[in-house]
């Protein structure tokens, strides 16, 4: 027998199966999906590989033997093998990249880090122990206490034993040494959410009439046997979560399992709390700040059938649940569902594939669905499930647009308009809370010289440096590569002392507000203040507990949070994402504004949203203020159709990168020629429109230059082969690298 394997760290050009002999010593230990080590190349260096098939014959005449088999607990199931092949086909990644994506990091180490739990029991007869306890020979109180506890309870693990008063690890060790107690080892799972207990409490969910109608439509799909997809389109505050939870209950009642994806910033302690208390020990939570061991163990728990509900961020879509009944993608329009590094997959595509394989329901939910999804819903590819009223009769917030040009004319140079300031004072008087959103961190976004006009840019990237204030003074920071330097007093180019500081970020707003409203405690939440997830979680909890009146921050403040006392939402500058040269700029701005405005007035209290902008007439801003998704969609889809943008075609982005600029330019020319030749020759049947090469929006990042080409086409097996051929050719080149992204979220 031979194993047909993929080498896991193979470069693109040799990412194909290789045959290896299965030696007698390993016969029976290797199957489809096994992870193995094999000798590879002229030096026979040992490489990790995955077995994709067992075959009886091979054409390879110098076939080498498999060296060893890795831990079987992490071998690939049939379904995961299928997923890997799917990823390889649909994202053009290598098989190894796919394997590393479906398995948790740490699964591929020689000795996986699996924790064992010691279970202690008495090793002597009870009478014997009793007389020992009453006699004088055993003097250590700690040891006695441990023995008494085991007499009482029968068995206990080391954690439990050490919780007994006066008992230390040394005492337990001494008892083992004396042969009075003994232990067995048991595999253990690290689960940071274990303290929620195992039982769970399913409080009944009482839906409003509108919610019930939405739920009924979803239930009907759940109970039908074939694979299907639905879009729960519910306005902000309509209570989508309750509908989803009821659908989860129903799926689990059918004995099936569920994956629920949420964006990282919506996975707050509050969300985790709601789900863990409801579903108890049958839940696994997966996100990026789990330790490697915790991820590994979440994977094992799921694989061992101890979990029916997985809640997590993008990569949780690969959770190895069996008997899948539903995959929910909450806030499905979020860009974080698309991976930016290889494999460049979209969680929606993976979910659709998995649901197709197991006859499950893919349930997308959003108040501002992606244009692609809403288009599919309108055309019957997805079932459209609308939820058009806010829960509990809450009204949509009243939105006020403030023209910031007018403020300037009136001599107000602060980022806070009079209108917003008044609204904030009002909130203070009524003891309510406010959220302020500004999509830029730092103090000033640019420093330029009044004399020579130079803008201070990052030495490693082609972007201007942002001015940040810190306790120790002020510094310049590059948001792309992290480069930092002290803020200069004079122009680095001409020495002039006249520098102008332009554009404001969250720090500037914080500074101004502390002057205008010194009595109103403010909390600033952005990448500078929330270095770790814990800090972010803590700030949200503190705000909920009323420790601040104002929550000011970047995108982090806009998503999915439900703060009952928030009645005012302020958008400090609505224009930041509007004039980006990307065909999705309108969609992103509309969705961001709609979501943040929707945070106001959710618990019966009337809400108000103040939108500050330099373009008060802009259609997108007006539609977002009215929360009018339908009108936005009609306008935008007409534009996409007229200009032939997705969903009316597929877009492919080719990026060439390299440190040597002349070499990069030459390669771009070669790439253009190759594409031309292929489209004129063996691929002449493919209709494609090729744009570029042109410099990427940010040309240089971290000393590497980037040139782009964009191709409009229809993705198919054949177009994918076309791009695969290009990748294979370029993966051999030195000094430049080519990366291809099928339907990227930003161009």
The residues of the shown chain that bind ligand ADP, judged by CB under 6 A, are 206-208, 211, 234, 236-242, 391, 562, 602
**Interatomic CA distance for residues 623 and 629, integer angstroms:** 7
Binding-site member from 494, 638, 643, 698 for Zn ion (CB under 5 A): 494
Pick what 366 binds: ligand ADP, Zn ion, none; C-beta below 5 to 8 Å, kind-dependent.
none
SS3 634: helix
Pick what 478 binds: Zn ion, ligand ADP, none; C-beta below 5 to 8 Å, kind-dependent.
Zn ion
Pick what 242 binds: Zn ion, ligand ADP, none; C-beta below 5 to 8 Å, kind-dependent.
ligand ADP
What is the closest distance, in whole angstroms, from the C-beta atom of residue 127 to ligand ADP in the complex?
Answer: 59
460 binds Zn ion (CB under 5 A): yes
CB closer to Zn ion out of 449 and 574: 449
What is the closest distance, in whole angstroms, from the C-beta atom of residue 459 to Zn ion in the complex?
Answer: 7
476 binds Zn ion (CB under 5 A): no
Interaction residues for Zn ion, span 391-450 (CB under 5 A) = 449
**Interatomic CA distance for residues 95 and 36, integer angstroms:** 14
527 binds Zn ion (CB under 5 A): no
The residues that bridge with 257 in the sheet, in sequence order, are 324
CB closer to ligand ADP out of 228 and 559: 559
Question: Cis peptide leading into 647, omega within 30 of 0?
Answer: yes
Q: Which two tokens stand for residue 578?
A: 């509007």
Pick what 554 binds: Zn ion, ligand ADP, none; C-beta below 5 to 8 Å, kind-dependent.
none
CB closer to ligand ADP out of 156 and 365: 365
455 binds Zn ion (CB under 5 A): no
Query: Which range touches Zn ion (CB under 5 A), out of 119-127, 241-249, 480-488, 513-521?
Result: 480-488
SS3 689: strand
Q: Which residues, 6+ apart, have CB-to-CB distance to 617 below 8 Å?
A: none
481 binds Zn ion (CB under 5 A): yes
CB closer to ligand ADP out of 381 and 626: 626
Pick what 170 binds: ligand ADP, Zn ion, none; C-beta below 5 to 8 Å, kind-dependent.
none
SS3 625: helix
Pick what 533 binds: Zn ion, ligand ADP, none; C-beta below 5 to 8 Å, kind-dependent.
none
CB closer to Zn ion out of 218 and 456: 456
**Rounded-to-5 percentages of helix, strand, coil across the chain:** 35, 25, 40
What is the closest distance, in whole angstroms, from the C-beta atom of residue 360 to ligand ADP in the complex?
Answer: 23
Specify whether the CB–CB gap between 679 and 688 falls below 8 A.
Answer: yes
CB closer to ligand ADP out of 157 and 562: 562
CB closer to ligand ADP out of 61 and 206: 206
Which residue's CB atom is positioned nearest to ligand ADP? 239
Pick what 485 binds: Zn ion, ligand ADP, none; C-beta below 5 to 8 Å, kind-dependent.
none
Dihedral sign computed on CA atoms, order 343, 348, 352, 358: positive
Q: Which residues, 6+ apart, have CB-to-CB distance to 623 below 8 Å?
A: 590, 629, 631, 632, 635
Strand duo 181-187 + 361-366: pairing: unpaired
**Interatomic CA distance for residues 498 and 483, integer angstroms:** 24
DSSP element (H, E) containing 311: strand 309-312
**Interatomic CA distance for residues 418 and 426, integer angstroms:** 12
**Interatomic CA distance for residues 667 and 746, integer angstroms:** 23
Pick what 240 binds: Zn ion, ligand ADP, none; C-beta below 5 to 8 Å, kind-dependent.
ligand ADP
∠ CA(691), CA(695), CA(700), 5° rounding?
150
- For 345, other C-beta atoms within 10 Å of its C-beta total 25
Pick what 322 binds: Zn ion, ligand ADP, none; C-beta below 5 to 8 Å, kind-dependent.
none
**Which residues make up the interface to Zn ion (CB under 5 A)?**
449, 451-452, 454, 458, 460-461, 478, 480-481, 483, 491, 493-494, 496
């Amino acid at each position: 027998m031979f194993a047909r394997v993929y080498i896991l760290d193979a470069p693109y050009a040799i990412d194909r199966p290789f045959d290896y002999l299965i030696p007698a010593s390993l016969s029976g230990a290797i199957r489809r999906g096994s992870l193995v080590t094999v000798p590879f190349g002229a030096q026979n260096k040992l490489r990790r590989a995955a077995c994709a098939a067992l075959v009886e014959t091979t054409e390879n005449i110098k076939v080498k033997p498999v060296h060893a088999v890795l831990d079987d607990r992490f071998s690939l199931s049939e379904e995961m093998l299928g997923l890997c092949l799917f990823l390889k086909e649909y994202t053009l990644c290598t098989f190894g990249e796919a394997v590393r994506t479906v398995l948790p990091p740490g699964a591929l180490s020689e000795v996986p880090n699996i924790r064992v739990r010691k279970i202690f029991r008495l090793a002597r007869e009870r009478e014997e122990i009793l007389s020992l306890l009453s006699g004088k020979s055993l003097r250590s109180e700690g040891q006695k206490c441990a023995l008494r506890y085991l007499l009482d309870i029968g068995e206990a693990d080391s954690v439990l034993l050490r919780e007994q008063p006066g008992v230390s690890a040394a005492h337990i060790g001494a008892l083992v040494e004396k042969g009075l107690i003994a232990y067995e080892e048991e595999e253990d799972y690290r689960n940071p959410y274990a303290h929620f207990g195992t039982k769970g409490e399913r409080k009944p969910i009482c839906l409003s009439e509108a919610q019930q109608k939405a739920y009924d439509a979803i239930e009907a799909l759940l109970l039908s046997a074939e694979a299907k997809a639905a879009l729960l389109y519910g306005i902000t505050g309509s209570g989508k979560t309750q509908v989803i939870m009821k659908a989860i209950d129903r799926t689990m009642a059918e004995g099936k399992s569920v994956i629920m994806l949420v964006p990282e910033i919506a996975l707050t302690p509050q969300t985790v709390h709601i789900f863990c208390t409801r579903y108890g020990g049958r839940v696994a939570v997966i996100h990026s700040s789990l330790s490697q061991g915790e991820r590994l163990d979440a994977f094992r728990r799921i694989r061992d059938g101890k979990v029916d509900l997985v809640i997590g961020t993008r990569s949780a879509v690969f959770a190895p649940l069996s008997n899948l009944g539903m995959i929910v993608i909450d806030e499905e329009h979020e860009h974080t569902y698309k991976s930016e590094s290889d494999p460049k997959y979209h969680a929606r595509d993976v979910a659709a594939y998995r649901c197709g394989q197991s006859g499950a329901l893919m349930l997308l939910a959003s108040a501002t669905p992606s244009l692609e999804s809403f288009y599919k819903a309108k055309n019957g590819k997805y079932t459209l499930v609308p939820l058009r009223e806010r829960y509990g009769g809450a009204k949509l917030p009243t939105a006020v647009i403030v023209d910031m040009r007018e403020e300037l004319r009136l001599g107000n140079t602060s980022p806070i308009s009079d209108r917003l300031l008044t609204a904030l004072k009002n909130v203070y008087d009524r003891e309510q809370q406010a959220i302020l959103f500004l999509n830029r961190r730092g103090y000033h976004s640019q420093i330029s010289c009044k004399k020579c006009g130079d803008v201070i840019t990052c030495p490693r990237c082609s972007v201007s440096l942002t001015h940040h204030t810190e306790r120790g003074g002020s510094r310049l920071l590059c948001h792309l590569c992290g480069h930092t330097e002290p803020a200069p007093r004079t122009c680095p180019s001409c020495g002039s002392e006249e520098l102008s500081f332009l554009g404001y970020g969250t720090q500037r707003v914080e500074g101004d507000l502390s002057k205008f409203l010194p009595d109103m405690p403010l909390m600033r939440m952005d990448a500078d203040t929330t270095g770790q997830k814990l800090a972010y979680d803590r700030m949200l909890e503190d705000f909920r507990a009323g420790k601040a009146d104002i929550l000011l921050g970047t995108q982090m403040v806009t998503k999915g949070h439900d703060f009952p006392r928030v009645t005012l939402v302020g958008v400090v500058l609505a224009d930041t994402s509007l004039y980006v040269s990307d065909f999705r700029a309108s969609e992103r701005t509309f969705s961001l504004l709609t979501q943040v405005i929707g945070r106001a007035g959710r618990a019966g209290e009337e809400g108000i949203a103040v939108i500050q902008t330099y373009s008060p007439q802009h259609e997108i801003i007006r539609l977002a203020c009215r929360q009018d998704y339908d009108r936005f969609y009609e306008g935008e889809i007409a534009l996409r159709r007229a200009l032939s943008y997705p969903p009316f075609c597929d877009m492919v982005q080719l990026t060439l990168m390299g440190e040597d600029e002349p070499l990069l330019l030459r390669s771009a020319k070669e790439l253009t020629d190759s594409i031309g030749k292929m489209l004129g020759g063996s691929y002449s049947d493919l209709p494609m429109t090729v744009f570029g090469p042109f410099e990427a929006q940010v040309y240089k990042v971290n000393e590497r230059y980037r040139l782009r080409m964009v191709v409009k086409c229809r993705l198919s097996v054949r177009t994918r082969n076309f791009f695969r051929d290009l990748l294979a050719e370029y993966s051999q080149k030195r000094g430049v690298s080519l990366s291809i992204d099928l339907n990227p979220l930003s161009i």
